[in-house]
Amino acid sequence: KDAAITSTKASIALLQSQITDDQAQISSLQTSGTNSLDVQIAQAKLENAQANLQGIESQSVSSTITAPFDGTILAISNKVGDTVGTAKFLTIADLSEPYLEVLLDETDLTNVAVGYDVSVTFDALPNQTFTGKVVAINTSLSNAFSVTAIQTTVKLDPSTSTTIQNLPLGLSATVEVISAQAQNVLLVPVEALHKISDNSYGVFVMENGTPTFKTVEVGLQDYTSAEIKSGLNEGDVVTTGIVETTK
């Protein structure tokens, strides 16, 4: 293969030199007012050399595979001399930017979007948490393990940890997509909320040993806690409705 490449480069260099000489000869003949037949012969030689050069360069380009990005070859499924079609035979990856393929339940469609932050924990590294962002969402739902899922791509933040550069391919991970977040806010257990109407809630606050119902403005919620924007103060004691009984 190396010998063939060297031979091709030599042929290209020879033809380029010949083209330069032919162009100089034509210019000289035209300047000296030589017989037009001699000029035509020189022009024909030039065109022939240019055609040969174009053919060699086209053949060289057609036998060269150019990757769409810089990366590392991970696998080659064929060997020299094999005939390849449209099937994949070469796997390349950019290991400098770690990505995850994430499958989410279709019920989470409204909770994921490009740009959302994610929190990632790998099964092999349970004591480390990595961060990243959703960078792509497949426009078609996929079927994984007989479950319809949303296929997303997550890019991990390399600054999270130096370990991230050495993670092997194929690791399993738990991914939490953060569609919204609030910091330094007042929280109550979701069990303490009582729905009055759409987007309207109340809680029972203990005052002098007696539960008093107060309307509150609720912000973000998850499965365990709810953000209270107004209606309560830090230190208020709320009841979840669980009481002790005696027989």
How confident is the model over 167-217, as pLDDT tens digits? 777 788 888 888 777 888 899 999 999 888 888 899 999 988 888 999 999
Per-residue pLDDT at 136 exceeds 90:
yes
* CA–CA–CA angle 174, 168, 144 (5° rounding): 45
Lowest mean pLDDT among 64-68, 161-165, 224-228: 161-165
Predicted TM-score of the model (pTM) = 0.49
CA 126 – CA 26 distance, rounded (Å):
76
Residue with tokens 């390399």, as numbered in its chain: 158
Q: Which pLDDT value is given to residue 204?
A: 92
Q: Which pLDDT value is given to residue 74?
A: 81
Residue pair 179/211 in contact by the 8 Å Cβ criterion: no
Q: Which pLDDT value is given to residue 245?
A: 46
- Average pLDDT score over the chain: 81
pLDDT single digits (tens) 4-39:
666 777 777 888 888 888 888 888 877 877 677 777
Average the pLDDT over 85-94 and give the result: 78
Residues listed for the chain:
247
How far CA 244 is from CA of 188, 241, 247, in Å, comes to: 20, 10, 10
